[in-house]
Structures are given as structure tokens and as C-alpha cells.
Structure 1
Amino acid sequence: MNTSEYEVQILKELNQTIELIAEDEADNLVDRIARANKIFVAGAGRSGLMIRAFAMRMMQMGIEAYVVGETVTPNMGKDDLLIIGSGSGETKSLVPMAKKANSLGGTVAMITISPESTIGKIADLTVKLPGSPKDQAGSGYETIQPMGALFEQNLLVFCDAVILKLMDNKNLDSKAMYDRHANLE
């Protein structure tokens, strides 16, 4: 296959899987984001990169959003929301974070392939995204892509769709968001 044929196959996989996301789960996450005082996001590896992009878009909307582990991240309180992006829901660094957020009275949301996972059981709400786990064994999704790429792509597309829904709810457009875009670059 040439590069464009791979791209077509990747888009086909995304089209097949993105339609399987439960709208009520997505709406529940949008509602929780809208009601939260502060939003915290966490993830590891490539999933962590996707969830960081989500935090940046929320900040550009004027939502108080932070990436866990950054030096400027404040403390979490009971009216706050932690959103964890993890395909497996078993990432060793994220499990204690979910437990800690829970003990602080915050809400934990999980975006994952595996809502029945350790973090999924801790979470107050989960959004199940279709995708293949890194080992791909028994996932039920055919993919030509390596490891967890299908989940990570679905995570980015899903988070962008959540941003669009939030923008619609707040009557915001890209111009308003661009005014909050970084300008020291």
C-alpha cells in the first residue's frame, strides 16, 4: 500500500468506530464539564497527548482547565472534575490519581476502551470509545494500525466534538477562542 491508501484505511476505521460512541455518555460529560468549577485532565503516553490538547481547547474557551502534573496546576476541590483518558483504564500512574480525586470529593470522568477497568470502577462517569487495546487481542475491532492508535485517534476526535458541543452551548465561535490563543510563540 502507498501512504494515501493507508490514510484512506485509517479514515474508514475511524468512521466505523466513532459512530459507536453512546450519545448519552457524551452528553453527560459535556454537562459535567459545564457545571465544574475547575477541570483537570490526565493521561499517559499518546493518550496523554490527546487529553492535553483537550485541556488547551477548554482553556481557549475560557474554561479553567489544567493538566495534572504541571507546575501551575492548582489543588482539586469538591466542585472540580478530573477527566482521565486511558485506553486500558489500568495505567499504574493514573489509578492512584483517580482514587485521590475521589477522596477529595471531586468528580472523576473516564474516557476509555474499558469502562469495567480499575479506573472505570472508580469513575463517576465513563465514556466508552471504540478502539483496540495495545495488544489488540480479542478487541473485536479490526485495525491495520499499531497498538492503541485507533483509540488515541478516537479520543482526539471525540474531545474535539465535545469542544464543539460546549462552544455551541456557550454560543462561542473560533474568533472568541482565538483571542485566548497563546501569543508568546
Structure 2
Amino acid sequence: MRYADQVSRAAEELRVAAAGVDPAALAGMVEELAGARRVVCYGVGREGLMMRALAMRLYHMGMDAHVVGDMSCPPVGAGDVLVVSAGPGNFSTVLGLMGVAKGAGARVACVTAQPGAAVPAGSDRVLVIPAQTMADDTGPAVASVLPMGSLFEGAQYLVFEMLILMLRDRLGVSPDAMRARHTNLE
């Protein structure tokens, strides 16, 4: 397959996955985050990179946002939301962190492609991105031109940016206010 054809196919797959998100579930996630005292994000591997990107945008919105594992991450408790990524639906580290967060009184929101799996089942809110992950990247059903979980991870980026636009409108944060919070240490 030619490069331009692969790019077109990958872009279409990303569009379909992002467009396949339930608007009501996305609106629910906006409300979950809008009502949070603090938001802490977590994901493993490349999903973790997307969660870091989300945390950065939440910070740009003026929210108290952090990433699990960073030295500056505070404890969570009542009023806080732990947002976890579990594309394939189950990671032992995610389950462990969920237990700690729930035990401290925080809510858990999950972003996944496998809504029937353990992590989403134990979450207070679930946002499903219908995309191939490593849970379904082998065998005759493989549909994506992208390897492994790349379709899910790329779709996360698009969905998270749409989430931020909706949250920005919900909270009344201007683009200039977001830009003013961007680092100058570059």
C-alpha cells in the first residue's frame, strides 16, 4: 500500500473511532470533570502518554490536574476524580490504583474500548472509544492499518481535545486564559 493511501486509511479509521463516541457519555465526562475538586490521570504505555496530554490540557483550563507517578501528584480524596485509561479493559496497575482512589473517597472515570471488562465495570463513569486495542489486534478480525493499540491511542488524542473544547465552554474558560497558562520555560 502506498504511503498516501495508508495515511488516508489511518485518518479515516481515527475519524470513525472518534465519531463513534456516544455524545451523552462525552457530556457526562465533561460534567464529571467540571465538578471535580482535583483530577488525577493515569494510563500505562502509550495510553499513559495520552493521559499526560489530557492532564496538561486540564491544567491549561485552570483545573487542579495531575498525573499519577509525578512527584508533585497530591493524594486523592472526596471530591476528586481519578481518570484512568484501559483500552483493552484490564490492567493490574489500574485496578490497584482504582482501589486506592475509591478507598480514599475519590470517583473513578475510565476511558476504554472494552466496556465489559474489569476496569470499566469498577468505574463510576465510563467513556467508550470504539477502536482496536491490543485486546483485539490479532487474528482475522484485525481491521486497522495501524499496529497494536495505535488506533485507540490516536483516537484518545482526538476525543480528549473535543472533551477539552466542551469543558472549556462549560466552564467559560477563554482560549487566551488557556494560552496564558502555557509554560514559558521552553
Q: What TM-score does the superposition give when structure 2 sets the normalisation length?
A: 0.94
Q: Distance in 2 between matches of 1:139 and 1:116?
A: 22
CA contact (8 A) 1:133 1:139 kept: no
Match of 1:172 in 2: 173
Alignment partners' CA distance in 1, 2:102 and 2:121: 11
CA-atom RMSD, angstroms? 1.6
Distance 1:103 1:180, change over 3 A: same
- 1:120 alignment partner in structure 2: 120
Structure 1 residues 139, 25: closer, same or farther in 2, change over 3 A? Answer: farther
Give 1:79 deviation, angstroms: 0.5
List per-residue Cα deviations over 1:146-166 (Å, max 9, x = no partner).
000110011111111000001
The equivalent residue for 2:151 is 150
C-alpha distance after superposition, 1:32-60 (max 9, x if no partner) = 10001000000000100011000000001
CA distance in structure 2 between the partners assigned to 1:110 and 1:16 by the alignment: 20
- How far apart, CA to CA, are the structure 2 residues paired with 1:53 and 1:123? 21
Query: Alpha-carbon deviations, 1:107-132, whole Å to 9, x = none?
Result: 00000011211111110010111111
Greater shift in the superposed pair: 164-173 or 73-82: 164-173
Aligned to 2:94: 94
- Partners of 1:64 and 1:71 in 2: how far apart? 15
For the residue of structure 2 that corresponds to 1:84, the secondary structure is: strand
* Structure 1: 5+ residue stretches without partners: none
2: CA distance, partners of 1:72 / 1:8: 40
Question: Aligned pair in 2 of structure 1 residues 120, 138: CA closer, same or farther (>3 Å)?
Answer: farther
| More displaced 10-residue stretch of structure 1: 32-41 or 127-136 | 127-136
The letter of the residue matching 1:47 is: E
| Offset, 1:139 | 9.5
> Matched residue of 1:40: which SS?
strand
What's the % identity of the aligned pairs?
Answer: 30
Residue 26 (1) aligns with residue 26 (2): yes
| Superposition deviation, residue 138 in structure 1 | 7.2
Kindly state the Cα deviation for residue 25 of structure 1 after the two structures are TM-superposed.
0.9
Using the TM superposition, give the Cα deviation of residue 174 of structure 1 relative to its aligned residue in structure 2, in angstroms. 2.3
| SS of 2:100 mapped into structure 1 | helix
Residues 1:137 and 1:173: Cα distance change in structure 2 (over 3 Å):
same
Match in the other structure for 2:160? 159
**Aligned-partner Cα distance in 2 for 1:104–1:38:** 13
| CA distance in structure 2 between the partners assigned to 1:46 and 1:52 by the alignment | 10
**Cα distance in 2 between the residues matched to 1:70 and 1:27:** 28
Match of 2:108 in 1: 108
- Distance in structure 2 (CA, Å) of the matches to 1:180 and 1:17: 30
Quote the offset at 1:72 in angstroms. Answer: 0.3
Moved more, 149-158 or 83-92: 83-92
Secondary structure class of the residue paired with 1:93: helix
